[in-house]
Amino acid sequence: MKFDRRNFIRAASVLSALSLNEIGSLAAKQQIKTDGKTIADDDEAYWQNVRQMFPLTKDWTYLNNGTFGPSPYPVIEAVKNGMLDADQMGNYGSYDATIPKIAKFVGANDDEIALTHNVTEGINTVCWGVPLQKGDEVILTTHEHIGNMAPWMNRVKVHGIVIRKYTPASTAAETLNRIAALINKKTRAIATPHIPCTQGQVLPVKEICKLAKDKGLFALIDGAHGSGMMPLDLHNMGCDTYASCCHKWMLGPKGTGYLYVRKDFQDTLQAFYSGGGTQDEKWNLMTDPVTIGNYAPSAHRYFGGTQANGLFTGVNASIDFIETIGLQNIHNRIKSLGKYTQDRLLEMGDKVTLITPTEEQSRCAVNGFTIKGVDYKKFYDTCVDNKIRIRMVPENGINCLRVSTHIYNNKAEVDKLMDLIKKAV
């Protein structure tokens, strides 16, 4: 950029605006501590303080947390400090604190968590490591994100497995029936999302895992949207694997994730990725490549090498941030904003079709809809022109629009989108 007076003044004003926001966030930090108390989902003064913690610009209305969650200031600061630790002092860094923190956050043991960069990486580790042969069947949905579609399609291409798909129904009970109807003697795994990216339906994942166990199948969950959207207890859920990320509902740094692999499943899920940390001490790496020891006695067998110390320090801070507010408080707030969104969409009668179920257990913070007679891509462009970020859903020809709300949003922002929809119809 040319260094002239105007650019200098612009840069200086951006810097001063940022520090003002940061000052505001420091004040808000004291106000958002709940010390374990319940906060009403409509306590707007409280949630306004939470909003202060985010550098999100007020010029744009961000209703697209399903793609990524913007981080609050303490996370950004932690990333910087994590990097400085290496870059100033030459510390190699450690993620020792991150694994137990994630494990506790999701109801797992420390030795069941592998660090990843994103959901896609976790799903690939699962998809390629699970023992399948030509003709074996895996059940997915018709609502897959490419991250849980491409790896399985690749196994179709390379190993000749077969994909069967179900379409989520408007009730959890009917969804379960549809999955059960696909199971036959060739079925080996149910590899379903917990919450599909398309319209955010919360699938009955515990019951799906039970069905899988009863039928002797692997339960391999795409948990992209579970972590941070709701309290998780992966042991209680009963899945074999859960691939998730810290960059959506956990509001952590982009490019961070984790893969849960149930302890008893680790000797079934073959590790293919090897390097520093993936093996136990019996491997004689320096002098005797013939002596082959065992894999690390934990999910560490699935990841190795240098990790992004700054980013994982940010993950620690994002869990601290969530716990300062309380995950249950967050869940209640975003579920009620999701319900508000549904109600406003339903008010528009037959002009708008809500494609997310209204059933209590099947809805949360993400909703999909179509507008009668309005091309979804055109409406998406209208949103961008009006500085509103939502997502188009071209997946599987669903061709809908998706709105997802997190704790930095409020009803007025949802109303802004609704006004635009009203104009469009």
Ligand X SMILES: Cc1ncc(COP(=O)(O)O)c(C=O)c1O
Name the residues that contact ligand X, by CB under 6 A.
Answer: 67, 118-120, 145, 147-148, 193, 196-197, 222, 224, 245, 257
- Closest contact distance (angstroms) between CB of 270 and ligand X is 21
Residues 126, 232, 345: CA angle, nearest 5 degrees: 100
Identity of the residue, 193 or 326, whose beta carbon is nearer to ligand X in the bound complex: 193
Tell me how far, at minimum, the Cβ of 116 lies from ligand X, in Å: 9
Beta carbon nearer to ligand X, 114 or 418: 114
Cβ-based nearer residue to ligand X, 197 or 417: 197
CB of 121 to ligand X, least distance (A): 7
Q: How far is the CB of 401 from ligand X (least distance, A)?
A: 15
Radius of gyration for the chain, computed over Cα atoms and rounded to the nearest angstrom: 23
Q: In angstroms, what is the minimal distance from the CB of 324 to ligand X?
A: 24
Using the minimum distance from each CB to ligand X, give the nearer residue, 196 or 326.
196
50 vs 259 by CB, closer to ligand X: 259
For helices 5-31 and 73-89, angle between their N-to-C axes, nearest 10 degrees: 110
Closer residue to ligand X (CB): 39 or 234 = 234
Least CB distance from residue 316 to ligand X, whole Å? 19
Q: Which is nearer to ligand X, 188 or 402 (CB)?
A: 402
Task: Look up residue 396 and give its amino acid.
Answer: N
Least Cβ distance, residue 143 to ligand X (angstroms): 8
- Return the structure tokens found at 203: 């699938």
Q: Which is nearer to ligand X, 69 or 72 (CB)?
A: 69
Nearer to ligand X, 149 or 325 (CB): 149
Residue 120 C-beta: closest distance to ligand X, Å: 3
The Cα–Cα gap between 260 and 275 comes to 19
The nearer residue to ligand X, 253 or 257, going by C-beta atoms, is 257
Which three-class secondary structure string do you get for the chain?
Answer: CCCCHHHHHHHHHHHHHHHHHHHHHHHHHHHCCCCCCCCCCCCHHHHHHHHHCCCCCCCCEECECCCCCCCCHHHHHHHHHHHHHHHHHCCCCCCCCHHHHHHHHHCCCHHHEEEECCHHHHHHHHHHHCCCCCCCEEEEECCCCHHHCHHHHHHHHHHCCEEEEECCCCCHHHHHHHHHHHCCCCEEEECCECCCCCCCCCCCHHHHHHHHHHCCCEEEEECCCCECCECCCHHHHCCCEEEEECCCCCCCCCCCEEEEECHHHCCCCCCCCCCCCCECCCCCCCCCCCCCCCECCCHHHHCCCCCCHHHHHHHHHHHHHHHHHCHHHHHHHHHHHHHHHHHHHHCCHHHEEECCCCCHHHCCCEEEEEECCCCHHHHHHHHHHCCEECEEECHHHCCEEEEECCCCCCHHHHHHHHHHHHHHC
Q: CB of 259: closest distance to ligand X in angstroms?
A: 11
Nearer Cβ to ligand X, position 197 or 371?
A: 197
* 85/76 Cα distance (integer angstroms): 14
Which of 195, 252, 254 is CA-nearest to residue 221? Answer: 195
- Minimum gap (Å) between residue 245 Cβ and ligand X: 4
Q: Cα separation of 40 and 43, whole Å?
A: 5
CB 373, min distance to ligand X, A: 28
